[in-house]
Homo-oligomer: A and B are copies of this chain.
Amino acid sequence: MPRLPAVPHLETALKGPLLAIEKKLLAQKSIIESWFRCQFRSTPAPFYASVDLRNAGFKLAPVDTNLFPAGFNNLHADLRPLAINAVQHGIERFCPLTDGVLIIPENHTRNLYYLENLCTLASLISDAGYAVRIASLNPDIQEPTAIELPSGRTLTLEPIIRHENRVGVSDFFPCAVLLNNDLSSGIPAILADIEQVLLPPTQLGWHHRTKSAHFTHYREVAQEFADLIDCDPWFFDPLFTTCDGIDFQQGQGIDQLINQCELLLNDIQTAYNAHDINQKPYLIVKADAGTYGMGVMSVLDPQQLAALNKNARKKMSSGKEGLTSERVIIQEGVYTFETVSDAVAEPVVYMIDHAVVGGFYRVHTGKNATDNLNAVGMHFEPLAFADACIQPDARLNPDAAPNRFYAYGVVARLALVAAARELAQNDLP
């Protein structure tokens, strides 16, 4: 791939309704930042998060909020000090007296992209001034295992052990345990009732968390924010509904799913008409609990669901680690109208503590604007944001890079506020 430009081209730049919204964001920056401070005081943010955004020019919305983010290796090296400082503040907030951090990663031992992420995450914590070691839940890791990475770095995985009510590796049992494993299969027995501070708490794992609960909170947050800056929340908020009792493999519940899809498409069309949007509505159907883009489908015509072939049914049945999806979320598809050399580009924003610490674009040459970019077997080129998303420049036009990045940082933080409310709800007895 040739050298990428710093910022993807936005087809609708400077003419879509988002231009007016971006102007509002710039003009009301102090009010917005004050509102975020107030939100994170009353409901503290989870330790970290990444948010997948879609920018259609007429709508800028989060489509997925990951509370066990990978991909830290894709952030711009120039922004690492920002992440290091945010790590310091996050650890001080949750676990002020710790001197070390144990990371519990996903079980992948051959996914080098993931391991590069893990290595970067560990070095951010080390640079923040904490001892850091990686405790693997993977039964294949029976002794300290050094893995050479394509970047030239070496990552050492160690077998997790439990000693009374603490987990650790060999002689290292620090107060803080950072989960970089989304717990799709539930809470491993070794983590049950440990006395250490788990970041984030295991209740935020995908065995327990649902996308629909997140987007229900998000809807309220978007409404409150829209009231604050006096605009229509639709610009930030993807419509969605859920559907239970689906078994794609056995063909159960498909009629009801088609029915729900028809209804949501009608709602989207009504909103498109109201906002004078001349695009064809589409949907994303995915497991309500789960991650990694498995079991994700774009739906332009609900009747396609009646005629899924064996492969497609199988794909929709296999959530991560072999889970079947019984409940799906049906989400308004948000077009990606940002392109780099004709390839679609989806922004991903990273936050640690309540600070935006950077982001990157997933630039994917083989897909079109309606596809889910985070799909099985996808290959993307990361294009790091050169900008920290916190320095808008009112002298530039609303779509200039620092201002577009600021808008991304604002919408991503709206999703972070929603995640903070999930966290607060989980803390209730």
Smallest CB gap from A78: residue in B: B78
On whether the beta carbons of B34 and A84 are closer than 8 Å, the reply is no
Chain B CB within 8 A of A131 CB: yes
Give the docked Cα–Cα distance between A89 and B85 (Å): 10
Contact A390 B81, CB 8 Å, known A30-B130, A33-B128: yes
Report A350-393 residues with CB < 8 Å from chain B CB: 355, 388, 390-392
Given A30-B99, A89-B89, A99-B30, the answer on whether A129 and B37 have CB atoms closer than 8 Å is yes
Q: Is A300 an interface residue when CB atoms closer than 8 A count as contact?
A: no
- Chain B residues near A80 (CB, 8 Å)? 391
The answer to whether A114 has its CB under 8 Å from any CB of chain B is: no
A85 close to B355 (CB less than 8 A): yes
Residue A411 is within 8 A (CB to CB) of chain B in the complex: no
Cα–Cα, bound, A318→B92 (Å): 46
Q: How large is the interface on A (under 10, 10 to 19, 20 to 34, 35 or more residues)?
A: 20 to 34
Residues of B contacting A99 in the complex (Cβ-Cβ under 8 angstroms): 30-31, 34
Chain B's closest residue to A32 (CB) is B129
A70-106 CB contact bits vs B (8 Å, 1 = yes)? Answer: 0000000011111011101100100010011000000
What is the count of identical protomers in the complex?
Answer: 2
A234 and B132 alpha carbons, distance in the complex (Å) = 32
- Report Cα–Cα, A365/B86, bound state, in Å: 39
Chain B residues with Cβ under 8 A from A388's Cβ?
81, 84
Q: Which of A17-62 contact B (CB under 8 A)?
A: 29-34, 36-37, 41
Is there contact, CB below 8 Å, between A36 and B129? yes
A127: interface (CB < 8 Å): yes
Contact B84 A85 (CB under 8 A): no
Smallest CB gap from A153: residue in B: B395
Per the bound structure, the CA–CA distance linking A388 and B86 in Å amounts to: 14
Which residues in B have their C-beta under 8 angstroms from that of A131? 30
Cβ–Cβ contact B84 & A390, under 8 A: yes
Q: Do A29 and B129 touch across chains, with their CB atoms under 8 A apart?
A: yes
Question: Which residues on B sit within 8 Å (CB–CB) of A78?
Answer: 78
Considering only CB atoms, which chain B residue lies closest to A98 in the complex? B34
**Docked pose: A89 CA to B37 CA in angstroms:** 11
A406 to B, closest residue via Cβ:
B127
Q: Which of A97-140 contact B (CB under 8 A)?
A: 99-100, 126-131
Q: Are A129 and B92 in contact (CB under 8 A)?
A: no
Contact with B along A235-277 (1 / 0, CB 8 A): 0000000000000000000000000000000000000000000
Q: Tell me if A41 and B390 are in contact (CB < 8 A).
A: no
| Chain B residues with CB under 8 A of A31 | 99
A224 vs chain B, min Cβ distance (A): 17
Query: Chain B residues near A33 (CB, 8 Å)?
Result: 128-130
Contact between chains at A92 and B37 (CB < 8 Å): yes
Known: A99-B34, A131-B30. A86 touches B84 (CB 8 A): no
A84-B391, A388-B81 are known contacts. Are A129 and B34 too (CB-CB below 8 A)? yes
Q: How far is the CA of A222 from the CA of B390 in the complex (A)?
A: 37
For A92, the chain B residues whose CB sits under 8 A away are 37
Q: B84 contacts A81, CB within 8 Å?
A: no
> How far does the Cβ of A131 sit from chain B's closest Cβ, in whole Å?
5
A85–B90 CA distance with the chains assembled, in angstroms: 13
Q: How far is the CB of A45 from chain B (nearest CB, A)?
A: 13
Interface flags for A303-316 (1: CB within 8 Å of B; 0: not) read: 00000000000000
- Complex-state Cα separation, A96 to B29, whole angstroms: 18
Is the CB–CB distance between A96 and B390 below 8 Å? no
Task: Pull 5 A–B residue pairs with CB atoms less than 8 Å apart, ordered by A.
Answer: A30-B130, A31-B99, A37-B96, A80-B391, A127-B392
Q: Across chains A and B, which 9 residue pairs bring their CB atoms closest together, nearest first? A: A33-B129, A81-B388, A34-B99, A30-B131, A81-B82, A127-B391, A78-B78, A85-B355, A82-B82
Given contacts A29-B126, A34-B129, A84-B391, 7 further A-B contacts (CB under 8 A): A30-B130, A32-B129, A37-B129, A79-B81, A81-B391, A84-B388, A127-B390
